[in-house]
């Protein structure tokens, strides 16, 4: 008979099953882990208290919090090699003593990971994810903008975020984009983020847009400006020659990172 797995081990496997989209059924879990159904009921109750699942009759489904965690992890994993390469190029513009804005998005999040060990930086961000990466960095002063938390995303938006930005001037703003039209137009999925992005550029001496090539040529819901307003676009080698030539007419510099 197989040995009984401890709770933390069962918890890890249960969460992995949820990630795979599997239906959790109590009697099947009891057989899988060689424990009683009562033990599985207790496990599921604990996972519900921790916000991972919602109980159903005879089993469980992912809680909204867990669905969000899966979604964000999936977005971060998408084109991650390209995002890391773009972040490495962006890092070349950062010097100790600077004041930076890091926008929301998974590419700017990759830059945040590279900044963790920097000394003497100030980073302003509307991203809870970026702030969580930098919060224990002794050499970085992190300023988290106020505002409204966007449902389904770890971002702060709204009038408060815009007003707080008016308090600062920074050396560089690093922005993401959900789409870039071939006419250089910059897009976000949310108009509230578009307004914050517009304000960021006004409060920065230089602005760099970090955007992987899968988003070039795509149009999204809210326009926030143009590549004509920024110092450079940093993308990856997936950009086509045609896309490069179209955007080069609008953007003063396009930096192509190697994946």
List the pLDDT tens digit at each of the 259 positions of the chain.
Answer: 345 678 888 988 888 887 676 778 899 899 989 999 999 989 888 888 877 777 877 777 666 555 545 556 666 667 889 999 999 999 999 999 999 999 999 999 999 999 999 999 999 999 988 998 999 899 999 999 999 987 767 889 999 999 999 999 999 999 999 999 999 999 999 999 999 999 999 999 999 999 999 999 999 999 999 999 999 999 999 999 999 999 999 999 999 999 8
Using CA atoms, how far apart are residues 227 and 248, in angstroms rounded to an integer? 9
Q: By C-alpha distance, which of 18, 13, 62 is closest to 2?
A: 13
Q: Which residues lie below 8 Å from residue 252, measured CB to CB, with a gap of 6+?
A: 231, 232
Return the pLDDT at 149. 85
| Angle formed by the axes of helices 80-91 and 106-115, nearest 10° | 50
**Quick one: pLDDT at residue 1?**
39
Which part of the chain has CATH 3.40.50.1360? 79-257
What's the rounded Cα separation, in Å, for the pair 209 and 107?
A: 10
| The Cα angle at residue 78 between residues 75 and 79, in degrees rounded to 5 | 140
* Residues of each domain in the chain carrying CATH 1.10.10.10: 7-71
- Quick one: pLDDT at residue 17? 81
pLDDT at 65: 55
Please name the CATH architecture into which domain 7-71 falls: Orthogonal Bundle (1.10)
CATH topology of domain 79-257: Rossmann fold (3.40.50)
Pairing, β 24-25 against β 59-62: antiparallel
The DSSP code for 32 is H
């Amino acid at each position: 008979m197989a040995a009984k797995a401890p709770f933390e081990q069962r918890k890890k496997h249960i969460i992995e099953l949820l990630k795979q989209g599997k239906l959790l059924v109590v009697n099947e879990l009891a057989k899988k882990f060689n424990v009683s159904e009562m033990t599985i009921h207790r496990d599921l109750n604990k996972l519900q208290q921790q916000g991972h699942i919602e109980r159903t009759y005879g089993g469980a489904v992912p809680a909204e919090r867990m669905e969000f965690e899966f979604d964000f992890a999936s977005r971060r994993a998408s084109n991650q090699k390209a995002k890391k390469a773009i972040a490495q190029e962006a890092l070349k513009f950062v010097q100790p003593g600077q004041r930076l804005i890091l926008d929301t998005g998974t590419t700017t999040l990759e830059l945040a990971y590279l900044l963790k060990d920097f000394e003497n930086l100030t980073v302003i961000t509307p991203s809870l994810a970026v702030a969580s990466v930098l919060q224990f960095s002794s050499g970085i002063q992190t300023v988290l903008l106020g505002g409204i938390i966007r449902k389904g995303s770890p971002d702060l938006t709204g009038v408060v975020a815009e007003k707080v930005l008016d308090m600062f001037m920074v050396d560089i703003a690093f922005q993401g984009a959900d789409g870039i039209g071939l006419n250089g137009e910059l897009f976000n999925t949310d108009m509230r983020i578009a307004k914050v992005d517009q304000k960021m550029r006004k409060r920065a001496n230089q602005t760099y847009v970090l955007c992987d090539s899968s988003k070039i040529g795509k149009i999204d819901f809210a326009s926030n400006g143009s590549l004509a307003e920024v110092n450079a676009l940093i993308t990856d080698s997936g950009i086509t020659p045609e896309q490069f030539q179209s955007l080069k007419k609008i953007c003063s510099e396009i930096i192509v990172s190697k994946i």
